[in-house]
A and B are shown apart, each in its own frame.
Chain A
Amino acid sequence: MQKLVDIAFGVSNGSLSASDVVEQHLARIETRESEIHAFNCVTADQARQDAANIDADVKAGKKVGVLAGVPIALKDNMCTRGVATTCSSKILEGWKPPYDATVVSKLRAAGAIIIGKTNLDEFAMGSSTENSAFGPTKNPHDISRVPGGSSGGSAAAVSAGFVSGALGSDTGGSIRQPAALCGVVGVKPTYGMVSRYGLVAFASSLDQIGPFANDVRDAATLLEVIAGHDPMDSTSIPQPAPSLVSVLDHGVSGMRIGKVTDLPEGCEPDVLARLEAAFDALRAAGATIVDIELPSITYCLTAYYLIAPAEASSNLARYDGVRYGLRIDSPDLNAMYAATREAGFGDEVKRRIMLGTYALSAGYYDAYYGKALKVRRLISDDFARAYKKTDVVLTPTTPSVAFKFGSKTDDPLAMYLCDLFTIPTNLAGHPAMSVPFGTGAHSLPVGVQVLAPTLGEQAMFRVAAELERAS
């Protein structure tokens, strides 16, 4: 697999042609996309044009960015000027954003070539991409199995070699879970590290953009490009992007690695075995394993499924057929709203809108949404106590390896349990990442999740790099 840092290095010194790189990747897409369905759209013409421009710049001796010529895919919930942004929903039919998301501008400025927009569970609601209005994405390791979700298209695109890096969004695990299932690296940065401007909102207080890549260095390189303060996002942290690539070789000697003693049950044995192996590897590299407790972790899933739908019910109310996207004409305004939203949204989106609307209703707010906010504080307190004793925490990314299509679609709760280990970090606003660490049942990839406190990305990446060396 071609590393993105190698591509950028080669393109910028003229030993590689960005156009050739793009053609190679488009050829791989041509060969395998019909069975994988990672993309909602491939912007081949624009990619070729952008690559030609990069090559011309290199020839002219102009300075090119750190991602010069690197083919990148974007989850199709990030706005791209003039290119359809669908969120894999019928409701946004025909809508082309008049502006680029901040991450898109940053990628372009760094010389990245955007290859296309990837499939997702509709509005990022799901853990398998089965909720896409345009059909599911297949896991490149076994096309009878899901790639995970909601950023399944981005994970699959990197895993299949269609691109050398991709961006996803993570609200409750939507980067880390598909990364684990597809055997790639996936990072959810600290809330506020990457601008959300231009990311179509699911749950604003939880959403965070992050990278997918083939290895830890590529992921660190991508994150350094997209991170940093953005005045267009009020929740953006007012400080520059962290230096991550520089710490990857620092090792873990002397670091403290947290092991959750009260981890919820329900993990496949192979997954737990890989987690133990990860602890062993870090111990062997000089780290100390520290027992920690996260007593509120059992309430996180419930709290998440109140907070995220509550925010979603508000964020998705704007899709009303009045200004853009789908409109089903009807005799009066309320009928038009109802018909448009009935036709435009899929079942899971409707389920969450109803759940969230209910949770925020007069008379129910305190019992549901209000209580969920309290859990959010409790889990943050749990983490605060834990991080006095440890530098990072290690858990499985997901309870199981990639599962078969249809195996959880009739049971929303079983699907929600996929996010058991990923949700707590979103509630706390912390960073976490999934690193491939061997295989489990059916020889499918297993991911190990490294969690860190707010702005603890350097420690997190050091540990991730060590795990990669050991795997």
Chain B
Amino acid sequence: MSDIATLPNGWQLIVGLEVHVELATKTKMFSASPNRFGDAPNTNIDPVTLGLPGALPVLNRHAIELAMRIGLALNCKVQPCTFHRKNYFYPDLPKAYQITQYDHPLNVDGHLMLPGDVRIGIERAHLEEDTGKSTHFGGSSGRIHGSDYSLIDFNRAGVPLVEIVSRPDIRTSEQARQYVAELRAILLAVGASDAKMEEGSMRCDVNVSVHKPGTPFGTRCEIKNVNSIRSVGRAIDYESRRQVDLIEGGGVIRQETRHWDDSTGRTETLRTKEDADDYRYFLEPDLVPLIPDQAWIEAVRAALPVLPAARRNALGQLCNVDKDGESAIVVVERGQDDYVRSVVDAGGDPARALVYVQQAFAEQGPTPKIPASDLAALTNLERAGKITSTQAKTLLSDLIDAGGGDVAVMATKRGFEALDTTAVESMVDAAIATESGAWLKYCNGEEKALGALVGAVMKSSQGKADGKVITALLRAKRSS
């Protein structure tokens, strides 16, 4: 809760997020042109994409299905819905209106759980189409005003989007970051989007306001151009502080749209409410209402994969670690939790299996090539004290380089002659004798003295003894 502490004098941060994600369909929302990032400009176009006179939109069934997956994964109600036109002029908006959903969106009233069982409400997750992409040349700002000329790429126009609107339930910038990260994990898990913020297939608009608890929410500002999870946190921290400073200086917050500049770490006014467009929403007459039948909804629900939160929970239980801890988050994000489970099923040690996978399998993808039984064998060597944790790490990288193999043979090759416990115990007894001063201090409760004793054993074993085993032995001897 450190972020609240950064707002002085009892100010409370209120954040809501609008996240746009491009759906991973083969074709566009309303036409058969490919939905593909990175192609040569203006190659994935057709009369519908360009909004040519007479062209008409036809809904992409796969886009609806992916949007339903998102809604169901966010615990939304999937309902009969309609499409509206949002009218405004801009060169990269070929029809001069965007087809979107207005008063009857596909998905409503869901929620997403953050670590620590924080529940963030989802107001809606609706379908709409993306615009083309403008690039402005000349001028200093990189924006259209003041530029010499602009070029437009319509490959992105008509790409299906889902806009996910949270309720203003987020209270810290850390929660906002967690929300975006969790949402991204869900989108990837259900296969709805590649959710690459750097390529713009996932984009965040952040609504920020501040108030004093017990009073109504303050006027909000919407921040655009927030292009990474890190920027989400930075932009919120900056903007909330700006608002508090302004209010405390006697100023008033205007409702406006602000632009996040990642290089300066500041937000700047983009447009105020007064010059906001009147979008003149009305029902899109070229489309008919979309009424997903219950059987379709249930089929999509049944086909949903286990979601990241449930997988982290299961992994946490399996390995007896915190479900919201780093290792569970990372391993589930990589989709390697099933692999950890197969290592355990092969008789491996759960906690060690998780640590190995987290630390060494970043490049391996969801189905690592190393046979689970080999990794299981490695965890067991370490658990039995036959190798040290340092040696285990070395063998782990040998195992990865070789793509699997007999770890016992590898240990022998490396000369990791595992010392049995009796050998270590005699070395411990010898160290107690030679370092009697340290032993005495340790017996009197000075934990610091342990270092000298362990060091002596390590030295006499030439590093082959396991530090943990030595410590355990010393501790046992002290208490006996």
Instruction: Give Cα A302 to B267, complex, Å.
Output: 48
Q: Please measure, in the bound complex, the distance between the C-alpha atom of A198 and the C-alpha atom of B53, giving whole angstroms.
A: 7
Q: Which residues of B contact A105 (CB under 8 A)?
A: none
Contact A205 B285 (CB under 8 A): yes
Residue B87 at the chain A interface, CB threshold 8 Å: yes
Tier of interface size on chain A: 35 or more
User: In the complex the two chains form, what is the Cα distance from A85 to B54 in whole Å?
Assistant: 10
Interface string of B46-76 (1 = CB under 8 A from A): 0100111111111100000000000000000
A201–B282 Cα distance when bound, in Å, is 16
* Chain A contacts for B288, CB-based, 8 A: 234-235
Which of B89-97, B105-113, B167-175, B199-207 lies at the interface with chain A? B89-97
User: How near does chain A come to B283, taking the closest CB pair, in angstroms?
Assistant: 8
What is the CB-to-nearest-CB distance from A332 to chain B, in angstroms, rounded to a whole number? 7
A333 to B287: give the CA distance in the assembly, Å: 31
Whether, in the assembled complex, B145 has its beta carbon less than 8 Å from a beta carbon of chain A, the answer is yes
Partner of B94, one of A95, A197, A318: A318
- Chain B neighbourhood of A205, CB < 8 A: 285
Which chain A residues lie closer than 8 Å to B152 at the CB level? 322
Asked if A196 and B56 sit within 8 Å, CB to CB, the answer is: yes
Partner of A101, one of B54, B285, B287: B54
Stretch at the interface among A244-252, A290-298, A357-365: A357-365
Q: Known: A235-B286, A317-B95. Is A92-B53 also a contact (CB below 8 A)?
A: yes
**Residues of B contacting A361 with CB < 8 Å?**
278, 280
Contact A314 B56 (CB under 8 A): no
In the assembled complex, the Cα of A235 lies from the Cα of B288 at a distance in Å of 6
Q: Is the CB of B286 within 8 A of A310?
A: no
Select from chain B the residue with minimum beta-carbon distance to A316: B96
B124 at the interface (CB under 8 A from A): no
- Which B262-312 residues sit within 8 Å CB-CB of chain A? 278, 280-282, 285-288
A200: B residues at CB distance < 8 A? 53-54
Number of interface residues of B (CB under 8 A): 30
Smallest CB separation, A444 vs chain B (Å): 34
Residues of the A chain whose Cβ atoms lie less than 8 Å from the Cβ of B47: 97-99
With beta carbons under 8 angstroms apart, the residue of A87, A97, A320 that contacts B89 is: A320
CB-contact partner of B53 in A97, A314, A362, under 8 A:
A97
Given A98-B47, A99-B47, A204-B286, CB of A318 within 8 Å of CB of B95: yes
Asked if A317 meets B96 with Cβ closer than 8 Å, knowing A205-B285, A357-B280, the reply is yes
| Cβ-neighbour of A369 out of B89, B96, B282, B287 (below 8 A) | B282
**CB-nearest residue of chain A to B290:** A234
List the B side residues contacting A332 at CB < 8 Å: 145
A234→B286 contact, CB < 8 A: yes
Q: Which of B52, B87, B144 contacts A314 (CB 8 A)?
A: B87
Q: Do B57 and A234 touch across chains, with their CB atoms under 8 A apart?
A: yes
* Residue on A nearest B288 in the bound complex, by CB: A234
Is the pair B53, A85 in contact by a Cβ cutoff of 8 Å?
A: yes
Tell me which of B51, B278, B286 contacts A362 (CB under 8 A). Answer: B278
Q: Is the CB of B53 within 8 A of A320?
A: no
Nearest-CB distance from B470 to chain A (Å)?
A: 75
Q: Tell me the smallest distance from the CB of B90 to a CB of chain A, in Å.
A: 9
Q: Mark B214-227, 1 if CB is under 8 A from A, else 0.
A: 00000000000000
User: B-facing mask of A316-337, CB < 8 A → 1, else 0?
Assistant: 0110101110000000110001
A94 contacts chain B at the CB level, 8 A cutoff: no
A323 x B56 contact (CB < 8 A): no
Interface string of A92-111 (1 = CB under 8 A from B): 10010111010000000000
Q: Which residue of A lies closest to B85 (CB)?
A: A314
- With A314-B85, A360-B280, A360-B282 already in contact, the answer to whether A333 and B54 are too (CB < 8 A) is no
Measured in the bound complex, the distance between the Cα atoms of B282 and A235 in whole Å is 17
- In the bound complex, residues from chain A placing their C-beta under 8 Å from that of B55 are 99, 197-198
Given contacts A232-B58, A235-B288, whether A79 and B280 have CB atoms under 8 Å apart is no
7 A-B residue pairs with CB within 8 Å: A198-B55, A234-B287, A235-B288, A313-B280, A318-B51, A318-B53, A318-B95
Q: Which 6 A-B pairs have the closest CB atoms?
A: A317-B96, A205-B285, A360-B280, A204-B285, A200-B53, A198-B54
In the complex, given contacts A235-B285, A235-B286, A311-B282, what are 6 additional A-B residue pairs having Cβ atoms less than 8 angstroms apart?
Answer: A197-B56, A198-B54, A201-B54, A234-B56, A318-B53, A369-B282
